[in-house]
């Protein structure tokens, strides 16, 4: 299943001109406020008719300006999750979940049981939305969207109304949805941390245009992405696998760049993980450092150097086929004589990778 979109639309003072493909997995639409993300979601949903262009989902043409085809929203088989859960307050959770099934193309009770289990909402089925936390309400909204048997899931900032604790609670469920349903998920977000944690594909939108689109690992480690994310949020995501829980509370992970130790990661050996490593947390050394406290020393090669800000340098590194990003000062880059192709050591403190930066799944 794939969503393909190429549309143009003019509002007074704003032109959207966007084209991208969203394969199975989670495609994050990331851009500043007013860049056109919601307009794209509305065009896919059929809430707005683009002046020009075509949108196709899983072989079904949703709209095409050359043929004049424009399917109304209720015939598009899409699932939506918005900032606010928008559940029916007078219905129980179970009735809310079943409501979407009026529009479904025939799914059975086993499917309902599977989704209820996947989202951990079994104990909530007889409650009404007023008796749920914000995070629980959003999980029910996710369940309702999936049970409507959609071709695609559209999520417009589904975590934006939740506090940090509730966000952390819901992220693993979004990971399961992404990895277990095989549906394309189009996910609007303002949050670099959310994009890094969840996205398999990233589409960057700036002033109505797509400035970059592609696999999350490549887009996030591209120095050109850093100004859009904000320098403190710039960083790479790499794949890892849990190798062992060690006696002193550390978990050993295997990565293409070598072993990495982090404070305990609650996952069984063999579990595939994605690690977000912020550029500002990576130190560089010409020789393998000794006598330092940092546990993780990775052999890397410099791919390119990009000056950033008044005094900074972003160094894109390669390690066993994966990209890493380091942010250092230009003074250090000069002092170390850094140049593309050079072999170096990247140093990462185990404790600098926050628990929220460790997700389940693979990078793309």
Ligand X SMILES: Nc1ncnc2c1ncn2[C@@H]1O[C@H](COP(=O)(O)OP(=O)(O)OP(=O)(O)O)[C@@H](O)[C@H]1O
Task: Return residues touching ligand X (CB under 6 A).
Answer: 11, 14, 31, 33-39
Three-state DSSP class for residue 104 = coil
CA distance 239 to 333: 27
Q: How far is the CB of 193 from ligand X (least distance, A)?
A: 16
CA distance 220 to 226: 8
Q: How far is the CB of 205 from ligand X (least distance, A)?
A: 7
Closer residue to ligand X (CB): 70 or 99:
70
Q: How far is the CB of 247 from ligand X (least distance, A)?
A: 47
Closer residue to ligand X (CB): 198 or 279:
198
Angle between helix axes 164-181 and 109-119 (nearest 10 degrees) is 140
237-261 burial string, b = 16+ CB within 10 Å, else e?
bbbbebbeeeeeebbbbbbebeebb
Closer residue to ligand X (CB): 34 or 309:
34
State how far the alpha carbon of 81 is from the alpha carbons of 84, 150, 219, in Å: 8, 12, 25
Q: How far is the CB of 202 from ligand X (least distance, A)?
A: 15
Q: How far is the CB of 42 from ligand X (least distance, A)?
A: 7
State how far the alpha carbon of 87 is from the alpha carbons of 67, 95, 116, 283, in Å: 36, 10, 16, 48
Q: How far is the CB of 16 from ligand X (least distance, A)?
A: 7
Closer residue to ligand X (CB): 37 or 274:
37
CA distance 70 to 93: 33
Closer residue to ligand X (CB): 14 or 88:
14
227 closest CA partner among 357, 142, 314 = 314
Closer residue to ligand X (CB): 28 or 275:
28
Cα angle: 266, vertex 272, 274; to 5 degrees = 85
Size of the chain in residues: 364
């Amino acid at each position: 299943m794939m969503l393909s979109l190429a549309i143009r639309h003019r509002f007074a003072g704003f032109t959207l001109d966007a084209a991208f493909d969203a394969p199975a997995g989670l495609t994050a639409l990331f851009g500043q406020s007013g860049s056109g993300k919601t307009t794209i979601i509305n065009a896919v949903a059929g809430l707005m008719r683009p002046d020009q262009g075509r949108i196709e989902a899983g072989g079904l043409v949703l709209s095409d300006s050359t043929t004049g085809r424009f399917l109304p929203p209720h015939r598009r088989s899409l699932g939506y999750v918005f900032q606010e859960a928008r559940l029916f307050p007078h219905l129980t959770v179970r009735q809310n979940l079943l409501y979407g099934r009026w529009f479904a193309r025939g799914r059975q009770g086993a499917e309902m049981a599977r989704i209820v289990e996947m989202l951990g909402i079994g104990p909530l089925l007889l409650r009404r939305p007023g008796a749920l936390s914000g995070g629980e309400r959003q999980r029910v909204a996710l369940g309702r969207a999936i049970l409507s048997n959609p071709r695609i899931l559209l999520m417009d900032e589904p975590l934006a109304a939740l506090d940090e604790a509730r966000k952390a609670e819901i992220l693993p469920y979004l990971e399961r949805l992404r990895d277990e349903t095989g549906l394309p998920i189009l996910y609007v977000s303002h949050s670099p941390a959310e994009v890094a944690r969840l996205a398999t594909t990233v589409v960057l939108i700036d002033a109505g245009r797509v400035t970059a689109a592609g696999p999350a690992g490549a887009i996030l480690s591209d120095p050109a992405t850093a100004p859009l994310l904000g320098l403190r949020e710039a960083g790479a995501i790499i794949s890892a696998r849990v190798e062992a829980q060690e006696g002193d509370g550390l978990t050993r992970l295997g990565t293409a760049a070598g072993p990495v130790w982090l404070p305990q990661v609650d996952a069984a050996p063999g579990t595939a993980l994605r690690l977000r490593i912020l550029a500002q947390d990576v130190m560089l050394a010409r020789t393998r450092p000794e006598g330092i406290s940092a546990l993780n020393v990775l052999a890397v090669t410099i791919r390119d150097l990009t000056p950033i800000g008044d005094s900074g340098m972003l160094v894109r590194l390669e390690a066993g086929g994966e990209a890493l990003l380091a942010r250092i000062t230009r003074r250090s880059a000069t002092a170390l004589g850094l140049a593309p192709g050079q072999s170096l050591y990247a140093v990462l403190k185990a404790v600098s990778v926050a628990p929220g930066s460790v997700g389940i799944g693979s990078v793309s």
